[in-house]
Amino acid sequence: MSPKALAGVFAALALVVLLIGAGFALAGAWLVLPFAGLEVALLAGAYVAYARHAADYERLEIEPDGVRVEVARAQGVARYRLVNAKVSVKDGRVVLRDAKEELEVGRYLGAEARVELAAELQKRLIRGHAT
């Protein structure tokens, strides 16, 4: 779901919660309203946490002599270039390694998809080194 669509859902939920809280307050149960406000604040916090990472991604480009990796997270975009990279799987994590650094990839994938990613990377890197 896009951040804009989720914002609409959260806004509708917040409106319903506040209307119910206001209804109870008008009926004399005014203590419901502060809790409704707290619920709306928690919804807003959940939305902000989701929206910060909604556009996170990893992009891998196989080159003849290695791999170029671009990782976008809430903090920004980081770019790596691993020459003569090797692939390994450690504790369910896919790790690319060259002589200088080690980089985990596929962190947004499920366990089965990470295994498939590791196999595909291994195949393509071997093919790239052979040419």
Kindly report, residue by residue over 62-116, the tens digit of the pLDDT.
Answer: 888 888 999 998 878 999 998 888 888 888 889 888 888 888 998 888 888 998 9
Alpha helices in 27-69 (DSSP H): 32-53
Q: What is the pLDDT of residues 111-124, one digit of tens each?
A: 889 989 988 888 88
Using a cut of 0.85, tell me whether the model's pTM lies above it.
no
- Above 60 in pLDDT, residue 131? no
- β-bridge mates for residue 105, sequence order: 94
Contacts of 131 (CB under 8 A, 6+ apart): 64
Confidence (pLDDT) at 44: 92
Confidence (pLDDT) at 129: 57
Query: By C-alpha distance, which of 89, 67, 62 is closest to 80?
Result: 67
